[in-house]
Chain A
């Protein structure tokens, strides 16, 4: 009950885009069971034994009751009926005096034997249903483990264009919620389904064999129960979805009022906000009550059907008993098996909803796993020899989809070893795409990117990327110490090397001011450090690789001017003597660059040095004035003439 409620609320909480899940995902997920062959086999083996034990119990109870009843009849006849009439009474009870005596003598031992067998079966049943449930859980955990590892490995190796198109949150959900949903189905749903079918069919067969007339009486109730469950499933899903929608509307108001508390207070809008919230709270309550109404009608109704089944059996079974064609033990057995029929029916409703959710989830999981990694080593890829630093773009175009608009088009240039290339252009002009093509985060759609004359697609990714230092615009640090983060690209670096890189990147001074120095843990996503500090650590991280080729997306919009000056100094240190590609925002970087590429809508609109361009290119002049930020030359101003 609890798990089904939680299930439904989870189901409602998740609202996704309209992406249609693919079919057959669930089948593929089930095939992963192959890796858990041993535990899965144990689970299903135990299931069969446990179900047989369960099915035996009513029969055993009947044996006990029969023994008691026959003994009781014998007692009654011998005890209350006058001796001459005993034979007649026995005949009326459908037996003989001799049989009665035998019954009376054997009743107690029969009863006790039957009881002992029940206890034995109870132990058997308990043991095997534990094995079944535990092994099913273990199997499903193993399966979730495999799926998560595969998703993670896949995600780690996807090309950048995949991340451009997908949000972190979406990918997270697939590895957590979706895997959990598939796991739930395989742990519970699949086993429950097997158990339910086994139980339902075996119980129905036993019912027919025991007393087919009686079975026919309750048969019409079964389809009613099935229909009710389906109705229930169909009605409750959208209701829960609506609850989630209203709850999130309510939470949005709450969130906004907390985040914007100052604005609310400043404009004294408390009464207005309170009214807004009350409306949302009332609307949520109404929906909750709607669900309650549905539940308070449907749940008892479903329960009632099973109870009516028992009443039907009592009446028609009772008629048979009175008529002498059924005895009490058999009646009791029948009513127990009847529970075994209704119980699995209830489970099937639950299983169907699990299956629907798991199917959609499996589709989403395999959607990731099936993404072809566009960027992989060629089979005959060679190891890139130590880079000299010449980078050539030869008629390079790139588009995300084969049919899409080109992001860059026919870009050609050559950067000689040691040169600094500055890229300029509006947002979306293709600057980032160009720098991402060099370490092969994307592959060119046409044309080629060559490093020292070698096509980047002909060398191994490892040998290529390990020689390129990159500072990305958005700095991600990883949980671990500051040292771990600086040594991110070279875990074998010595302390001296780490400190040297830190000093060059202007990191050392603030690191040693922390109580734990280089062992200071960096919080989740580096939150304990300021933007400028994070960025400098990222620079140290790149510096430690001592790369011959450097790529900088040096946005410093989030840092104050003093920090900006320090970062600039660190970057200047870093660029010295290396071929560097810089998405430039600072005048000094651009002015000092050996080659400036001005990009406009994916094409190189102008190229040259600052002096050349300021004369010739109007686009350059415009960008220069509107986008570039003047440098704070602290040393210079401090020494400024007074």
Chain B
């Protein structure tokens, strides 16, 4: 907001977009519809039937005029009638014709209803299939994809693209198809009935089409601008409401209000400009429609009055004038609808193009053809000269080699960006190495199926992700066939049982989005229980950095210790106690293991680990001293642990 320097947020940049490669995208859509081709063909037939009734109705009305109301036997093909027929005979004839007309109307209603239903049936099935394919693809993509593409963007891409397709598949597609069909059909009918008369009557149609496409094109452009402005208004609002306390604290209300006023005015003006195009379209079409009526009656009427056929064609009857009048009045609506809805259809195709592009991404982590099941893991993990990186030419790890024996605990420490997370991501093969190999029990992880590998590896992440479901289901996520008792046992192991039982509905409490309602520490306890339930052979832990209260901290520590027992474990360590208990500590810097050994060995080196310890972990020592329960006077222990005195 400030100074307007933030620039327009591309909130809705892709509102209306054009497909780049129309034919391929349509073919892909066609492929999806191919599964429901019976429905699709049926829908098209029904539309054609419905259009037929719409085209035929004006003819019947014309016949009513020519045969009964103002008999002109020459142009009456519906039945034979003559000028001297009795009044009763004419009324009876009229009645039967109106009966047919009503039947036709009913048939038309049925057909168009069925057409709409069939169309949306096929469309919805296609959409569901696309959604499911997308969802599968989400899981197939490697974590490398998510490192490069923000989850929020992927999410909004998928939802907004399926949404545009959803909108287009119902009314829009139906109306565009049936509208186009109706226009073409009417034109053919008119041309057949009387070519010169038809051409004259239709002379306004190109003007209508031109006006429509001009105004809707302009409006679309103007709306793009107004959407940007609306984005600015939203951003301004969002910022000022969220920051209202600051605005008041710094006496910025007046400036802030004035700034908003400007953004708001720009939005208003952009909207008014867009409106000048949208509001012009209807009146222009309507006026042209009246002109078309005038042309039909004047041309038809003059020909009739002078008894002169136009350019040597058949004479024009009064009934034909009526039919034409009905026809030209049926043009307006479809032309307008096509203009408006075509945009929808176009956006949908573009949305489909993006969806197909997402579906076409080949995951860089895939099971080899002929990959075998990972046999039960003993727990030996070996990195052989491993290099890895998320982007080309930007290696994160170089020449990492180590071996972890079954049951060992490996602590990985190092500054942010050193590559700690990358190392642990390679073990369950979330990424593939760019050089070297990761071996588990001597087997390259790329030679086994990802599922059989990951099933035997447990993971507790720093940011404990929970699903909006019950506590029970969240823990059971570790092993779907676990009984309630097993879940509770796992929760007990993770020291989570006590607080879970205090929740309003105990294990049946439904957790909010991202585990909301629980503290971060509690969320981590649940995710520890989840990992415990899975009973993995290899465990990967990312300790939370953010502070939790001391009690929970102790619980987590205890839970970790329980969980590590007897498993090969890799821990991105933030706690001194974890490091002290580890069998090996790897000090990572710029993607290289610079120091390795036990805590004490590394301290003695007085290298990078020593520096890190001094700036980060010493505080824990102090704090631990001050916690009264350990009974050691503050200072004494710290002194004892001070590296110099070791």
**Contact residues, B618-635 vs A (CB, 8 A):** 618-619, 622-623, 626-628
Decide if B480 touches A285 in the complex (CB within 8 Å).
no
If the complex has contacts A122-B290, A149-B260, A319-B91, are A254 and B158 also in contact, measured as CB distance less than 8 A? yes
Is residue A14 within 8 Å, beta carbon to beta carbon, of the partner chain?
no
Could you tell me the distance in whole angstroms from the C-beta of B477 to the nearest C-beta in chain A?
6
| Among listed B23-31, B187-195, B251-259, B440-448, interface-contacting one | B251-259
Is residue A250 within 8 Å, beta carbon to beta carbon, of the partner chain?
yes
Q: How far is the CA of A91 from the CA of B240 in the complex (A)?
A: 84
Q: How far is the CA of A534 from the CA of B458 in the complex (A)?
A: 36
Given the complex, which residues of B lie within 8 Å of A264, measured CB to CB? Answer: 139
Interface string of B548-564 (1 = CB under 8 A from A): 01110000000000000
Could you tell me the distance in whole angstroms from the C-beta of B48 to the nearest C-beta in chain A?
16
Could you tell me the distance in whole angstroms from the C-beta of B452 to the nearest C-beta in chain A?
8
Interface size on B, residues (CB 8 A): 163
A sample of 8 inter-chain contacts (CB < 8 A) reads A115-B295, A129-B283, A149-B261, A155-B244, A156-B248, A263-B459, A625-B628, A632-B619
Given the complex, which residues of B lie within 8 Å of A323, measured CB to CB? Answer: 87
Decide if A296 touches B117 in the complex (CB within 8 Å).
yes
Decide if A111 touches B465 in the complex (CB within 8 Å).
no
B239 CB contact (under 8 Å) in A262, A270, A314, A478: A478
If the complex has contacts A68-B305, A478-B1, are A134 and B112 also in contact, measured as CB distance less than 8 A? no
Could you tell me the distance in whole angstroms from the C-beta of A328 to the nearest C-beta in chain B?
6
If the complex has contacts A137-B275, A314-B98, are A68 and B468 also in contact, measured as CB distance less than 8 A? no
Q: Known pairs A111-B302, A163-B244, A314-B61. 14 more at Cβ < 8 A?
A: A1-B337, A125-B287, A176-B233, A259-B151, A296-B116, A311-B98, A315-B95, A318-B64, A318-B98, A322-B94, A470-B250, A476-B239, A479-B1, A557-B546
Decide if B302 touches A626 in the complex (CB within 8 Å).
no
| Among listed A226-234, A444-452, A518-526, interface-contacting one | A518-526
Decide if B245 touches A72 in the complex (CB within 8 Å).
no
Decide if B139 touches A273 in the complex (CB within 8 Å).
yes
Given the complex, which residues of B lie within 8 Å of A629, measured CB to CB? Answer: 547
If the complex has contacts A268-B455, A479-B235, are A126 and B614 also in contact, measured as CB distance less than 8 A? no
A300 CB contact (under 8 Å) in B98, B109, B302: B109
Given the complex, which residues of A lie within 8 Å of B293, measured CB to CB? Answer: 57, 61, 118
Main secondary structure of the interface of A (DSSP, over half): helix
Decide if A292 touches B170 in the complex (CB within 8 Å).
yes
Interface string of B299-315 (1 = CB under 8 A from A): 01110111100000000
Decide if A296 touches B298 in the complex (CB within 8 Å).
no
Interface size on A, residues (CB 8 A): 153
Is residue A107 within 8 Å, beta carbon to beta carbon, of the partner chain?
yes
Q: How far is the CA of A261 from the CA of B467 in the complex (A)?
A: 11
Decide if A137 touches B272 in the complex (CB within 8 Å).
yes
Could you tell me the distance in whole angstroms from the C-beta of A105 to the nearest C-beta in chain B?
11
Is residue B12 within 8 Å, beta carbon to beta carbon, of the partner chain?
no
Q: How far is the CA of A272 from the CA of B110 in the complex (A)?
A: 42
Is residue B234 within 8 Å, beta carbon to beta carbon, of the partner chain?
yes
| Among listed B65-73, B394-402, B565-573, B575-583, interface-contacting one | B65-73
> Which residue from chain B places its CB closest to the CB of A545 in the assembled complex?
B250
Decide if A488 touches B250 in the complex (CB within 8 Å).
yes
| Among listed B124-132, B378-386, B590-598, interface-contacting one | B124-132
Could you tell me the distance in whole angstroms from the C-beta of B33 to the nearest C-beta in chain A?
15
Interface string of B127-159 (1 = CB under 8 A from A): 110011001101100010010000100110011
> Which residue from chain A places its CB closest to the CB of B303 in the assembled complex?
A68
Given the complex, which residues of B lie within 8 Å of A605, measured CB to CB? Answer: none
Decide if A328 touches B65 in the complex (CB within 8 Å).
yes
Decide if B622 touches A258 in the complex (CB within 8 Å).
no
Given the complex, which residues of B lie within 8 Å of A641, measured CB to CB? Answer: 644
Given the complex, which residues of B lie within 8 Å of A5, measured CB to CB? Answer: 167, 171
Is residue A491 within 8 Å, beta carbon to beta carbon, of the partner chain?
yes
Decide if B305 touches A259 in the complex (CB within 8 Å).
no
**Contact residues, A1-25 vs B (CB, 8 A):** 1-2, 5
| Among listed A211-219, A275-283, A346-354, interface-contacting one | A275-283
Given the complex, which residues of B lie within 8 Å of A259, measured CB to CB? Answer: 151, 465, 514
Could you tell me the distance in whole angstroms from the C-beta of A489 to the nearest C-beta in chain B?
4
> Which residue from chain B places its CB closest to the CB of A479 in the assembled complex?
B6
Decide if B114 touches A296 in the complex (CB within 8 Å).
yes
| Among listed A302-310, A401-409, A410-418, A566-574, interface-contacting one | A302-310
Q: How far is the CA of A2 from the CA of B600 in the complex (A)?
A: 72
Decide if A637 touches B614 in the complex (CB within 8 Å).
yes
Is residue A462 within 8 Å, beta carbon to beta carbon, of the partner chain?
yes
Q: How far is the CA of A121 from the CA of B322 in the complex (A)?
A: 21
Given the complex, which residues of A lie within 8 Å of B139, measured CB to CB? Answer: 257, 261, 264-265, 270, 273-274
> Which residue from chain A places its CB closest to the CB of B622 in the assembled complex?
A630
Decide if B113 touches A296 in the complex (CB within 8 Å).
yes
Decide if B457 touches A311 in the complex (CB within 8 Å).
no
Is residue B238 within 8 Å, beta carbon to beta carbon, of the partner chain?
yes
If the complex has contacts A5-B171, A254-B135, are A267 and B91 also in contact, measured as CB distance less than 8 A? no
Decide if A524 touches B117 in the complex (CB within 8 Å).
no
Is residue A288 within 8 Å, beta carbon to beta carbon, of the partner chain?
yes
Q: How far is the CA of A562 from the CA of B615 in the complex (A)?
A: 7
Could you tell me the distance in whole angstroms from the C-beta of A535 to the nearest C-beta in chain B?
13
Is residue A603 within 8 Å, beta carbon to beta carbon, of the partner chain?
no
Is residue B242 within 8 Å, beta carbon to beta carbon, of the partner chain?
yes
Could you tell me the distance in whole angstroms from the C-beta of A319 to the nearest C-beta in chain B?
6
> Which residue from chain B places its CB closest to the CB of A142 in the assembled complex?
B268
Is residue A609 within 8 Å, beta carbon to beta carbon, of the partner chain?
no
Q: How far is the CA of A143 from the CA of B354 in the complex (A)?
A: 38
Could you tell me the distance in whole angstroms from the C-beta of B161 to the nearest C-beta in chain A?
12
Decide if B69 touches A328 in the complex (CB within 8 Å).
yes
Is residue B351 within 8 Å, beta carbon to beta carbon, of the partner chain?
no
Q: How far is the CA of A198 from the CA of B116 in the complex (A)?
A: 33
Decide if A289 touches B135 in the complex (CB within 8 Å).
no
Decide if B6 touches A521 in the complex (CB within 8 Å).
yes
Could you tell me the distance in whole angstroms from the C-beta of A618 to the nearest C-beta in chain B?
12
Given the complex, which residues of B lie within 8 Å of A67, measured CB to CB? Answer: 301
Given the complex, which residues of A lie within 8 Å of B619, measured CB to CB? Answer: 561, 630-632
Is residue A71 within 8 Å, beta carbon to beta carbon, of the partner chain?
yes
Decide if B272 touches A285 in the complex (CB within 8 Å).
no
Decide if B124 touches A637 in the complex (CB within 8 Å).
no
Given the complex, which residues of B lie within 8 Å of A250, measured CB to CB? Answer: 131
Decide if B465 touches A465 in the complex (CB within 8 Å).
no
If the complex has contacts A69-B70, A266-B457, A300-B110, are A108 and B305 also in contact, measured as CB distance less than 8 A? yes
Q: How far is the CA of A560 from the CA of B340 in the complex (A)?
A: 55
Is residue A79 within 8 Å, beta carbon to beta carbon, of the partner chain?
yes
> Which 10 pairs, one residue from A and one from B, show the smallest C-beta to C-beta distance?
A479-B6, A480-B2, A126-B287, A122-B290, A489-B250, A133-B279, A476-B243, A300-B109, A68-B301, A137-B275
Given the complex, which residues of A lie within 8 Å of B301, measured CB to CB? Answer: 64-65, 67-68, 71, 107, 111
| Among listed A167-175, A497-505, A591-599, interface-contacting one | A167-175
B246 CB contact (under 8 Å) in A145, A281, A476, A625: A476
Given the complex, which residues of B lie within 8 Å of A284, measured CB to CB? Answer: 128
A558 CB contact (under 8 Å) in B70, B125, B546: B546
Could you tell me the distance in whole angstroms from the C-beta of A45 to the nearest C-beta in chain B?
16
Interface string of B82-100 (1 = CB under 8 A from A): 0000010011001100100
Decide if B109 touches A301 in the complex (CB within 8 Å).
yes
Is residue A377 within 8 Å, beta carbon to beta carbon, of the partner chain?
no
Decide if B101 touches A626 in the complex (CB within 8 Å).
no
Is residue B198 within 8 Å, beta carbon to beta carbon, of the partner chain?
no
A285 CB contact (under 8 Å) in B2, B125, B297, B465: B125
Is residue B321 within 8 Å, beta carbon to beta carbon, of the partner chain?
yes
**Contact residues, A45-94 vs B (CB, 8 A):** 57, 61, 64-65, 67-69, 71-72, 75, 79
Could you tell me the distance in whole angstroms from the C-beta of A134 to the nearest C-beta in chain B?
4
Q: How far is the CA of A130 from the CA of B240 in the complex (A)?
A: 38
**Contact residues, B1-22 vs A (CB, 8 A):** 1-3, 5-7, 9
Is residue A207 within 8 Å, beta carbon to beta carbon, of the partner chain?
no
Is residue B362 within 8 Å, beta carbon to beta carbon, of the partner chain?
no
Could you tell me the distance in whole angstroms from the C-beta of B144 to the nearest C-beta in chain A?
12
Decide if A152 touches B237 in the complex (CB within 8 Å).
yes
> Which residue from chain A places its CB closest to the CB of B88 in the assembled complex?
A322
